[in-house]
């Protein structure tokens, strides 16, 4: 990066040398305006090109702008050396050939490349012809060839605007903004050049400063076309200029009418009323002028089809919600957009004033998945009709995308929990095998070796060791059973799901100290997959245990039924309404067990007591 910025040393040195020569060797009067303008404008292009090349060393437009800047900054040197013709050629070569070709290369060319190369040729030939006309003192021919360059640039800009979209369209608009800001300076020079109170050098400095909009816009187009909404910048600039001209024209016209009516200078009170009327109508007129400017320049600010197309591209590309909002904010030209889910901010783009915003509910089917909060521009009382149309059109796909993103995040979290649970289960089994069964088997092996060594020399001692060995084997078998039953309840294999739950619930106490009365309603159940059976057993036992511990009820009801390809399990109690349940360890474990195999679980308390419902799909594939 440091070496990239070092390339600015050359134009910096030329700029300093030019300033010194302007002070020590002023240019002749016929070149004074041109030399001062070249020094100011060349410094701007040098700064822009150096920045571009420092950040993107391989940028072709950046290199071309750098070359054009060097030509402009070399003009004062030619003037100081008394080479007037060379100075003119340097100025024309930069302004009519190198810089136009550089600006034409800013936007990548993906379509109609043959036409664009032809326009490059037109501008190049026109620039060379202009150089030749200046070199051979053919003034009228120079104006004609310079006009050819201008026409070529206009056609190239129009073609790029029609062929591009997205960031490339933004690049074109930045260039158009820079050119539009620079061109009026020529007319400014024509108006002020004959003024006796302003020197040509002062006019040149003013024109050069205004021309700096062009290198600045080119650098933004190359490096950060999304830095801000260029359409908003253009709209504000054109609207501002139009309103100033309109206000001056209305006031001048009104004062002329007052002069005619008064037969002379109108009184101060009449002019004050006129000024107040112009001021009062300024804002309403500005709103309508801006709408007209947007319609004229951009075909209307809020185009529903364009906004939906651009949003669709972002959604298809899998962009994050922030990118969705940036695209919409650009399409709607609003200060900011925020997606909220309850009190949480999911994504935001720009700034939204809480006092000047509109909330659009986002629904995916019957579910309310969030709100789209739209900031209202400061010069508007509310969103325009076109903006409301766009919001109504994009709300549905935005809600679906937000819903899908939330489901994906929940799936990611659920998968992580499943992996964590499996690892914990593996750790438990490993610990049980290592700490329990491993030492027992090692002891059995040592005892067997001792018995073998004593079987011939001390039969009685060998028999005692064998009896101890038999007891150790029994303990090892019991440990194996404990580990196996911890992985899958023994009662499921021996009694089946219904009876296993019934047996487990026999000793659950109610809140009154007596045994909890559990009623189980279950029709004939098909043979269930092992994962479904274990999940149903765990959920049923945990739900009944929660009734025993927390519900103010002496009875509970368990219903098991198969509905299509779902096993529906419902546990209800006759307790009181305990309000919203806060998820604890038991409720969380039930939900995780059910969601691990693609099911759903609902738990709530109502006037009739608490109810836990689990729906478990029967189509469960084995893990792995």
pLDDT digits 0-9 by tens, 133-143: 887 877 778 78
Residues 322, 294 share a domain: no
CATH label of the domain that carries residue 507: 3.30.565.10
Quick check: is 453 in a domain?
Answer: no
Q: Is the pLDDT of residue 447 over 50?
A: yes
Of the three residues 328, 363, 391, the one that is the final residue of a domain is 391
Token output for 577: 């309404």
Q: What is the mean pLDDT of the chain?
A: 78
Of the three residues 281, 298, 315, the one that is the final residue of a domain is 298
For 540-575, the pLDDT digits (tens) are 988 888 888 777 777 888 999 988 888 999 998 876
Residues 330, 249 share a domain: no
Quick check: is 343 in a domain?
Answer: yes
Per-residue model confidence (pLDDT) at position 621: 46
**d(C-alpha 585, C-alpha 100), whole Å:** 70
- Cβ-contact 537, 492 below 8 angstroms: yes
**d(C-alpha 101, C-alpha 92), whole Å:** 13
DSSP state of 7: G
Quick check: is 135 in a domain?
Answer: yes
Residues 294, 308 share a domain: no
* pLDDT classification of 615: cutoffs 50, 70, 90: very high
Residues 181, 121 share a domain: yes
**d(C-alpha 466, C-alpha 455), whole Å:** 10
- Cβ-contact 590, 542 below 8 angstroms: yes
Of the three residues 340, 369, 391, the one that is the final residue of a domain is 391
- Cβ-contact 485, 478 below 8 angstroms: no
* 524-542 mean pLDDT: 86
Lowest model confidence (mean pLDDT) among 17-26, 204-213, 581-590: 581-590
Place of tokens 């360890």: 585
Quick check: is 415 in a domain?
Answer: no
Length of the chain: 624
Report which of 614, 619, 613 is spatially closest to residue 531, judged by C-alpha positions: 619
Residues 377, 277 share a domain: no
Sheet harboring 609-617: ordered strands across?
Answer: 517-522, 555-563, 566-573, 609-617, 600-606
**d(C-alpha 448, C-alpha 470), whole Å:** 10
Residues 320, 206 share a domain: no
Burial of 444 (0-12, 13-18, 19+ CB in 10 A): middle
Residues 252, 197 share a domain: no
For 452-469, the pLDDT digits (tens) are 777 777 777 777 777 777
Quick check: is 177 in a domain?
Answer: yes
Q: Where do runs of H (alpha helix) occur along 496-618?
A: 497-505, 530-550, 585-596
Residues 211, 64 share a domain: yes
- Cβ-contact 50, 8 below 8 angstroms: yes
Per-residue model confidence (pLDDT) at position 570: 92
DSSP state of 8: G
- Cβ-contact 553, 547 below 8 angstroms: yes
Residue 287, Cα to own-chain centre: how many angstroms? 30
Residues 13, 137 share a domain: yes
Tell me, letter by letter, the H, E, C secondary structure of 368-382.
Answer: EEEEEEEECCCCCCC
Q: Enter the pTM of the model.
A: 0.51
Quick one: what percent of the chain has pLDDT higher than 90? Answer: 3
Q: How many CA atoms lie within 13 A of 263 on its CB side?
A: 0
**d(C-alpha 472, C-alpha 480), whole Å:** 12
Per-residue model confidence (pLDDT) at position 623: 38
Percent composition of the chain: helix, strand, coil (DSSP 3-state, to 5): 70, 10, 20
- Residues of the domain holding 271: 244-298
Token output for 130: 């202009």
Residues 366, 250 share a domain: no
Residues 201, 159 share a domain: yes
* pLDDT classification of 580: cutoffs 50, 70, 90: low
Quick check: is 376 in a domain?
Answer: yes
- Who has greater pLDDT, 567 or 395? 567
Quick check: is 432 in a domain?
Answer: no
For 248-266, the pLDDT digits (tens) are 888 888 888 888 887 777 8
Q: Is the pLDDT of residue 1 over 60?
A: no
Specify the 3-state DSSP secondary structure of 568: strand
* 595-603 mean pLDDT: 84
**d(C-alpha 405, C-alpha 58), whole Å:** 38
Radius of gyration of the chain (CA): 41
**d(C-alpha 188, C-alpha 183), whole Å:** 9
Token output for 385: 């009709």
- Who has greater pLDDT, 359 or 317? 359
Per-residue model confidence (pLDDT) at position 624: 34
Quick check: is 455 in a domain?
Answer: no
**d(C-alpha 409, C-alpha 411), whole Å:** 5
Lowest model confidence (mean pLDDT) among 96-105, 210-219, 441-450, 480-489: 480-489
Q: Are β-strands 566-573 and 600-606 bridged in parallel, bridged antiparallel, or unpaired?
A: unpaired
Per-residue model confidence (pLDDT) at position 577: 58
**φ/ψ of residue 569, rounded to 5:** -120, 125
Per-residue model confidence (pLDDT) at position 569: 92
* pLDDT classification of 428: cutoffs 50, 70, 90: low
Per-residue model confidence (pLDDT) at position 189: 55
- Cβ-contact 540, 548 below 8 angstroms: no
**d(C-alpha 225, C-alpha 218), whole Å:** 9
Q: Is the pLDDT of residue 340 over 50?
A: yes
**d(C-alpha 179, C-alpha 214), whole Å:** 6
Place of tokens 């080119």: 218
Per-residue model confidence (pLDDT) at position 599: 86
* Highest mean pLDDT: which range of 253-262, 301-310, 343-352, 474-483: 253-262
* 144-166 mean pLDDT: 84
* 203-232 mean pLDDT: 82
Per-residue model confidence (pLDDT) at position 184: 66
**φ/ψ of residue 379, rounded to 5:** -95, 10
Instruction: Report the domain count for the chain.
Output: 4
- Cβ-contact 186, 150 below 8 angstroms: no
Token output for 339: 């997606």
* 595-619 mean pLDDT: 82
Per-residue model confidence (pLDDT) at position 211: 83
Residues 78, 195 share a domain: yes
**φ/ψ of residue 420, rounded to 5:** -65, -40
**d(C-alpha 75, C-alpha 55), whole Å:** 28
Q: Is the pLDDT of residue 622 over 50?
A: no
């Amino acid at each position: 990066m440091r070496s990239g910025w070092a390339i600015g040393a050359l134009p910096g040195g030329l700029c300093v040398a030019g300033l010194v020569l302007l002070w020590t060797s002023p240019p002749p009067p016929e070149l004074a305006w041109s030399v001062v303008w070249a020094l100011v404008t060349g410094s701007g292009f040098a700064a822009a090109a150096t920045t571009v090349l420092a950040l993107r060393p391989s940028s072709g437009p950046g290199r071309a702008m750098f070359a054009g800047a060097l030509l402009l900054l070399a003009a004062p040197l030619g003037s100081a050396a008394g080479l007037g013709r060379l100075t003119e050629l340097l100025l024309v070569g930069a302004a009519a050939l190198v810089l136009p070709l550089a600006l034409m290369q800013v936007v990548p060319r993906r379509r109609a490349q043959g036409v664009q190369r032809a326009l490059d040729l037109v501008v190049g030939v026109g620039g060379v012809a202009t150089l030749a006309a200046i070199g051979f003192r053919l003034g009228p021919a120079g104006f004609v060839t310079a006009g050819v360059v201008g026409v070529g640039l206009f056609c190239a800009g129009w073609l790029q605007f029609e062929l591009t979209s997205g960031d490339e369209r933004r690049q074109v608009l930045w260039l158009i903004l820079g050119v539009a800001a620079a061109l009026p300076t020529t007319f400014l020079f024509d108006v002020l050049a004959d003024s006796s109170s302003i020197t040509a050098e002062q006019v040149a400095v003013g024109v050069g400063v205004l021309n700096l909009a062009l290198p600045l816009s080119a650098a933004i187009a190359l490096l950060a076309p999304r830095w801000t909404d260029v359409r908003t910048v253009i709209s504000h600039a054109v609207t501002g200029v139009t309103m100033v001209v309109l206000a001056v024209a209305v006031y001048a016209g009104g004062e002329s009418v007052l002069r005619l009516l008064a037969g002379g200078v109108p009184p101060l009170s009449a002019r004050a009323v006129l000024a107040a009327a112009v001021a009062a109508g300024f804002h309403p007129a500005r709103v309508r002028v801006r709408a007209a400017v947007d319609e004229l320049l951009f075909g209307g600010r809020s185009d529903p089809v364009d906004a939906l197309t651009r949003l669709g591209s972002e959604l298809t590309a899998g962009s994050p919600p922030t990118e969705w909002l940036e695209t919409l904010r650009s399409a709607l030209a609003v200060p900011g957009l925020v997606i909220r889910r309850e009190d949480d901010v999911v994504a935001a783009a720009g700034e939204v004033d809480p006092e000047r915003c509109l909330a659009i509910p986002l629904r995916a089917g019957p579910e309310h998945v969030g709100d789209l909060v739209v900031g209202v521009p400061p010069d508007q009382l509310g969103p325009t009709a076109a903006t409301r149309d766009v919001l109504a059109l994009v709300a549905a796909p935005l809600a679906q995308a937000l819903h899908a993103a939330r489901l994906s995040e929940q799936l990611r979290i659920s998968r992580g929990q499943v992996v964590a649970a499996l690892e914990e289960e593996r750790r438990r089994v490993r610990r049980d095998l290592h700490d329990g069964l491993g030492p027992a088997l090692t002891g059995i092996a040592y005892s067997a070796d001792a018995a073998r060594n004593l079987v011939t020399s001390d039969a009685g001692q060998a028999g005692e060791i064998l009896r101890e060995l038999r007891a150790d084997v029994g303990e090892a078998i019991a440990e194996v059973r404990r580990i196996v039953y911890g992985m899958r309840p023994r009662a499921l294999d021996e009694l089946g799901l219904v009876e296993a739950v019934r047996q487990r619930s026999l000793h659950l106490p109610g809140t009154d100290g007596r045994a909890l009365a559990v009623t189980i309603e279950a029709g004939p159940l098909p043979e269930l997959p092992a994962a479904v059976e274990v999940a149903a057993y765990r959920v049923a036992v945990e739900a009944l245990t929660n009734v025993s511990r927390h519900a103010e009820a002496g009875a509970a009801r368990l219903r098991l039924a198969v509905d299509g390809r779902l096993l529906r399990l419902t546990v209800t109690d006759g307790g009181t309404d305990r309000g919203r349940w806060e998820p604890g360890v038991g409720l969380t474990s039930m939900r995780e067990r059910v969601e691990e195999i693609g099911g759903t679980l609902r738990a709530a308390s109502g006037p009739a007591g608490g109810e836990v419902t689990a729906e478990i799909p029967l189509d469960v594939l084995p893990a792995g």
